[in-house]
Amino acid sequence: MSGQTEVPKGSEAVGRRVPLPRGARPPITVYVNGVAQQEGVDYDLGAGELVFRRPIVKERVGVGRWAAMYLGLFGTYRKHETIDVEYRLEGDDRPHLASDLAVLPD
């Protein structure tokens, strides 16, 4: 598929870059929706950030849809990818987890 990502109706490609938590050092494990990703295949590790080889897709929620969900009229089943990272800090070998990291626009 060469870097192409299908973006379903109601979702949008938001970007490829994800800043790492401050002080994060290897070993780093990256998950997209709970599925482990491979460095060099799915993403590259840059200076303080992850650079995915394809766009990350998030749900687009407008005011009307948000209000309907808030009122419990209906839920949502659109594509919404979350990025989680397990990492270590300098001087601390315990694993740390950062969930639902922000994606920077391209």
Model confidence pLDDT, tens digit, residues 26-65: 999 999 999 999 999 999 999 899 999 999 997 765 555 5
Q: What confidence score (pLDDT) does residue 77 get?
A: 60
Residue 30 lies in a domain: yes
Q: Which of 2-6, 20-24, 32-36 shows the lowest mean pLDDT across its residues?
A: 2-6
Q: What's the CATH code of the domain at 58?
A: 2.60.40
Residue 44 lies in a domain: yes
Residue 71 lies in a domain: yes
Q: What confidence score (pLDDT) does residue 71 get?
A: 59
Domain count, the chain: 1
Q: Quote the pTM value.
A: 0.77
Residue 22 lies in a domain: yes
Residue-range definition of the domain harbouring residue 64:
11-98
Residue 17 lies in a domain: yes
H or E stretch at 49: strand 49-59
Q: Tokens standing for 35?
A: 């599925």
CA separation, residue 86 to residues 33, 57, 71 (Å): 13, 21, 35
